[in-house]
Structure 1
């Protein structure tokens, strides 16, 4: 895992599968997603390397319930006074109260899906409590106010977070960075392995309307300049 500073307060914790982001405020730390199972010790070490303690984490926001995003959530939730957030449609899955619906894979996605899951433990991760269930328009108390944007399609309860002040967007798996894009001006793609790809495309177009300089994805490198233009260029290529 690598720790990469994107801004004074934003850090990118790069994992082989399922990235994690850390935001620093004077009152404590916020984590966006928790990586795959077993990621907890590496996240804790990253926090210590920045001069903090794991117990300084105040918020854990889960963009959706897939194993590579909630894998270490139960461990992080036990570090101290941590409030765990997720969308109300995703909360029963994260708590282990409801099964996770499988994605509707296109034929070309199946071998990629198998490779992506080869290094992950089988089955569901350890259930974790959700302290606050989120809805459209909720604003979380970090980063000057983090606006919750539901983006169904990848999963029913997927969310993005938009920080209007610093102009940062966390997309979860609704969008991704394409490392092999033939066009460097459009490095962002619609995420894969969706429950409903048409609905995901509609959600992507919503995100493309937000004023964003830095876009942070669950998979692929962040876009650190002029992210809105890149999002809009991709949105124009999506089916109506």
Structure 2
């Protein structure tokens, strides 16, 4: 796992596939996603290096139910007592009560990429089901000591959620939007049309910084770039 500071209060944890983010709050810390299974100890150590004891982790915000996002949630929640938040439609999958729906591929290249990615993750253990303490819907406010709001962005999964910090003009997109190798609609969606609508919804937000589940963060001018790409979506 690689740790990179993005802003004075945000750090990115990069894994073999995907990434998670640590957000320093006025009174504690939040994690946005938790990476592939098997990295809980590393994440806690990385937080410790940033000055956060396990009990300082107050919230775990899961953007959706895929393995590279919920992989360490159960272990981290147990170790820290953090509140776990996720979209209402994804919560049953995260709890292990229902299977996650399969993606609907938009082209042969996407199907081939899916096969390649899953072959690379063949040895990764399945995530442990975890509790979801709060099921989020569109516009759910978050009592984090700073302005923060959940944004429902279905299409990648039914319950995909983005996180918007309006005061600092930051957007955590989850996998609805990627920056790999350029800003683009995320892949492996369950509903292509809804995913495009969710991309456009995020592009309408006033943001300067966009942080993705896959790809490099955009620091500065993120909103303009999202709107440029949204206008070209077909």
Structure-to-structure mapping, 1:106-125, within 5 angstroms: 106-120=107-121, 121=123, 124-125=126-127
RMSD: 1.4
Alignment correspondent of 1:128: 130
Cα-to-partner distance string for 1:97-139 (whole Å, 9 max, x where unaligned): 0111110123111221122222324674210000000111111
On the 8 A contact 2:156/2:186 being kept in 1, the answer is: yes
C-alpha separation between the residues in 2 aligned to 1:157 and 1:107?
26
Alignment correspondent of 2:170: 168
On the 8 A contact 2:208/2:220 being kept in 1, the answer is: yes
Greater mean alpha carbon deviation, residues 151-160 or residues 105-114: 105-114
Count of residue pairs brought into register by the alignment: 232
Please state if 1:47 is matched with 2:47: yes
Alignment correspondent of 1:196: 191
C-alpha separation between the residues in 2 aligned to 1:175 and 1:129?
26
SS of the residue corresponding to residue 22 of structure 2 reads strand
Alignment correspondent of 1:38: 38
Q: Determine which of 140, 149, 152 is the counterpart of 1:150.
A: 152
SS of the residue corresponding to residue 58 of structure 1 reads strand
Q: CA deviation at 1:6?
A: 1.4
Greater mean alpha carbon deviation, residues 93-102 or residues 136-145: 136-145
Query: Which stretches in structure 1 are left out of the alignment for 5+ residues?
Result: 180-186
Q: CA deviation at 1:26?
A: 2.9
C-alpha separation between the residues in 1 aligned to 2:142 and 2:119?
35
Alignment correspondent of 1:90: 90
C-alpha separation between the residues in 1 aligned to 2:195 and 2:57?
31
On the 8 A contact 1:23/1:143 being kept in 2, the answer is: no
SS of the residue corresponding to residue 101 of structure 1 reads coil
Q: Specify whether residues 13 and 139 from structure 1 end up closer, same or farther in structure 2 by C-alpha distance, changes over 3 A only.
A: same
Please state if 1:5 is matched with 2:10: no
Q: Specify whether residues 75 and 123 from structure 1 end up closer, same or farther in structure 2 by C-alpha distance, changes over 3 A only.
A: closer
Alignment correspondent of 1:29: 29
**Normalising to structure 1: TM-score of the pair?**
0.93
Q: Determine which of 212, 220, 223 is the counterpart of 1:225.
A: 220
Alignment correspondent of 1:63: 63
